[in-house]
Chains A and B, each alone.
Chain A
Amino acid sequence: MSAFAYLRFMADVALLLRRAGFGPTAAELAAATQTGYGPTVSGLFAPVGPDVGATDAPMPKLGLDPFARLLTPTPAQTEKAHAQRKSQLELISRWWLDRMVVAHHQAVEKLQFFWQGHWATKVGSAQLMLGQHKALRNSRDFVEMAHRMVGDRALVYWLDGQHNKKNAPNENLARELCELFLLGIGRYTEKDVKEAARALTGYRVALDKEELVFDPQHHDNGAKTILGKTADFNPRGLVDLLLKQPACPRFIATRLWYRYASSSEPVPEGVREAMAAQFPRPMAMLRALFEDEAFAETRGTMVKQPVEWFVGALRQLGLRPVRLKPEEFTRLYWALESLGQRPFAPPSVGGWPAGTAWLTSAAANVKLAIAKQLADLVDPSRLTPEDVAYLLCVDKWTDRTYAVLRGVREPRLLLTLGLVSPEYQVT
């Protein structure tokens, strides 16, 4: 291999690891370049055995939602329960971020993060959010996931499903199932949405029950005509029907491309079809994407989402959220909110934004503060700009950044500047 070809190969492997996971450590990158591109793809998307790293981050046990036993709470009880919910949400966020850091199966964790953005849900109950998280994690494939989600308490509550009754349907959940979750806009009619809403009537959320509660008297048993098929659809039948549409695999492939390959360039038709052919197995769909030569062409088009940037930095600096002092973590947790991406709290059902939306001057300022806080937690000895590039797995500094870094003697400030550099924010 020529020197040029070798550099190109190194850069391709690094891009693969940055996109498929949360940002490789220098050791992981070195191992992957030894292994080669193809075998690394196999290792990422068909990991063998249990995730040994993740066993070090057991899921927290929360007990019942603080409101579950409060039938007619006093104002003081309400205030207390709200405070409990808030701290429980922080607890599960800390656990999840920690798991992203320690997991060896990085592609599995990254995909979990993708799904939480796809089925973008934000409710106040940590029990409900964690329940949805488990359902997404435990789904074998997209078919099982879609069925679990239509019966998921967090999603149904978030999209007013509990208000959807035979005599007064609420279309919110039905519309987003079609538009945002399974088909994509333009693949259904308004009539389909209205009819689909009827299929979903009669379910509500009870905080002390693990499953949705079904009220037969509020369910519409009549015939519904959806996408040209007439039947007495229930949620299961509706989801099966939507999954069978040819638009569904293509839509999911397009959404994966948008988050893994490029949020500004459209997916080439060939890639989309190759991915759709692997539906409903998301890991196989991703494998098709990363094995396509179009993938390497997307270099430089993705902006790291705040959580990707943050978790990658923790991994490379050898830090873990659960090992931080509680007040230190709390500060970082709300700093992520200022960046616009707190875990379990997407801004709307449309999910998190992408691309330049993350690159405001305000975000630049918050990143400076976070990077400094992280750099202050490590104790680096002498560092050169080259050492920082190695540690953060940056291919190459621009002349601009190199000039800035060369002028800095203090190792922590060097690290901080590396973390906020334009090169580190884009993949």
Chain B
Amino acid sequence: MDALTRRRFLLASGVTGAGALAAGSLGLGFYELLKKSNGAPTAHHDPKLVLVTLYGGNDGLNTVVPYADPAYHSARPELAYAPEEALHLDDALGLNPALPGLKRLWDEKRLAIVLGVGYPKPDRSHFRSMDIWQSASPTGPVNTGWIGRWLDGTKAPVETAVSFEPVLPPLLVGRTRVGACVSYRGLTVPSWINAETVAALGHGEQGEPAMQARAAAAYADLISMERVVREAGNVSHAPDAGDAPEAPATGTGGDSALAAQLALVTRCVEAGVPTRVYSVSLGGFDTHASERVGQEYLFRQLDAAMTDFVTRMARTEAGRRVVVVVYSEFGRRVRANASDGTDHGTAGPVLVLGAGVTGGFYGEQPSLTDLDDGDLKATVDFREVFGTVLDSVLQADPAQYIDGYKGVSLPFIPPS
């Protein structure tokens, strides 16, 4: 099997590149994570990063809408938003009408939009393109993610980077370190069985296969999470713990539960957990058909979850140092297809949000007439965006972790 195929398989199996290493660290429960909190919300807070991955290829042109461009309306007559529908950001661009909360954050200068972000020689496979974004290596497949390499470089402990997704994203996989995958669903031990019996099944045993050890660890996690749910009231250090979002204790409707994932981030940030990077996601953006209905449905979830999160974060010292970055593996074709949808494309906007973010546009909106075989030409390399984040949020040297980083820092986060 060639390197690329192997990588792809590892990615799909959720054991990306980490082998034996993964078995232990994947078993971290939410409770163990919270126990790592320093319990001192007034102490110095390191800036924190929340990466929001939109799986499926979000249509950038119907996210940040070039409503004043006649080429936009002629390329997708059934799909285009009329000038009066878009939520105007300036006299050329506006937000999708399903994003009113983000518009408010824009007005408050807490939303930065980096326009036309992509990479050279775009690949239209979901899997390969997502791999490129998460590894920050467009030139060839590598077995590490850009956050994973930073974990390696800083010899970070396991709780430094956490995913609340069902499967650990390759983003958090390093050569010697790997982030933690913390599950949050279905967490009450049934009453007909004694919790000690379940806990006893959760002990790993010397020499058993890694997969079997992981199956055992799931029971240990189950017991941990039950305690977290029970003790939920005692762990939050938020000034107003009364309205702390509840950790979802049961199934929350599939992997699209962005709000539930962000509620866990909220809990961790406010409890003073030393995690620096959180990875959360929302899926379903592969809108080949009936795009307006589908994308607006997802945008309403995104808008509510992001607005609540950013507003809530602004209320605490720790929260004000949180920066959110929203990206997708590619944008979509400029021209609509015959199904009122769009096929896989290239560049799209990246959103950056937070109390410490300098709102406004960065980069340049790609032309709708000067196209590359029907697709937008990227104006900003995504490595510049991630490089800026490494520099300003993680206080690391971008060139050390991102191959091909050119040092063109985008000033969307002022130096602290």
Contacts and interface: CB of A to CB of B under 8 A. Distances in A.
Contact of A362 (B9, B26, B185): B185
B331 to A, nearest CB: 15
A187 B309 CA distance: 42
Interface of A: 159-160, 163-165, 167-172, 175, 179, 184-186, 190, 193, 254, 258, 263-264, 266-267, 269, 272, 299-303, 338, 350, 353-357, 359-366, 368-369, 372, 398-401, 403-404, 407-408, 413, 416-417, 420-423, 425-426
A422 B343 contact: no
Nearest to A401: B201
Given A303-B215, A355-B15, A185 B338 contact: no
Contacts of B200: 400, 403-404
Contacts of A355: 13-15, 211
A97 to B, nearest CB: 22
A172 B343 contact: yes
A372 B211 contact: no
Given A165-B338, A354-B13, A365-B189, 14 more contacts: A172-B343, A175-B125, A175-B344, A264-B13, A300-B209, A300-B212, A303-B214, A353-B167, A355-B211, A359-B218, A360-B221, A399-B205, A416-B193, A425-B212
A422 B212 contact: yes
B187 A361 contact: yes
B100 interface: no
B251 A338 contact: yes
6 contacts: A163-B289, A185-B128, A258-B9, A302-B211, A355-B211, A422-B201
Contacts of A366: 186
A364 B218 contact: yes
Given A170-B288, A338-B251, A359 B215 contact: yes
Interface in B166-215: 166-167, 183-190, 192-193, 197-198, 200-201, 203-205, 208-215
B338 A266 contact: no
Contacts of A258: 9, 13
B73 interface: no
A179 B1 CA distance: 15
A368 B190 contact: yes
Nearest to A201: B338
Contact of A164 (B22, B127, B338): B338
A385 B96 CA distance: 61
Contact of B205 (A356, A364, A400, A416): A400
A360 B166 CA distance: 8
B5 A353 contact: no
A123 to B, nearest CB: 13
Contacts of B1: 254, 266-267, 269, 272
Contacts of A301: 209, 211
B408 interface: no
Among the interface residues B26, B123, B125, B218, which one has the most CB atoms of the partner chain A within 10 A? B218
A91 to B, nearest CB: 24
B12 interface: yes
B300 interface: no
A154 B12 CA distance: 24
A263 B166 contact: no
A185 B188 contact: no
Contact of B183 (A164, A263, A360): A360
B312 interface: no
Contact of B187 (A185, A362, A421): A362
B271 interface: no
A371 B124 CA distance: 43
B315 interface: no
Q: 3 nearest interchain CB pairs?
A: A300-B209, A362-B186, A163-B339
B371 to A, nearest CB: 14
A185 B12 CA distance: 13
Contacts of B127: 179, 185, 350
B386 interface: no
Contacts of A302: 211
Interface in B288-322: 288-289
A266 B9 contact: yes
A300 B205 CA distance: 14
Contacts of A423: 212
A357 B339 contact: no
Interface string B5-31: 110111011110001001000100100
B112 to A, nearest CB: 31
A263 B216 CA distance: 19
A302 B214 CA distance: 12
B147 interface: no
A417 B202 CA distance: 12
Contacts of A172: 288, 343
Contacts of A338: 186, 251
B124 A190 contact: yes
A368 B193 contact: yes
Nearest to B198: A368
B293 to A, nearest CB: 15
B208 A398 contact: yes
A89 B314 CA distance: 47
B366 interface: no
A179 B222 CA distance: 37
B341 interface: yes
Contacts of B337: 163, 168-171
Among the interface residues B183, B335, B343, which one has the most CB atoms of the partner chain A within 10 A? B343
A182 B50 CA distance: 37
B92 interface: no
A365 B337 CA distance: 44
B332 to A, nearest CB: 11
A425 B217 CA distance: 13
B146 interface: no
B225 interface: yes
B243 interface: no
B4 interface: yes
A360 B212 contact: no
B22 A356 contact: yes
Contact of B167 (A184, A357, A369): A357
A365 B124 CA distance: 38
Contacts of A362: 183-187, 251
B370 interface: no
B219 interface: yes
Given A160-B339, A417-B197, A422 B216 contact: yes
Contacts of B190: 365, 368-369, 372
B2 interface: yes
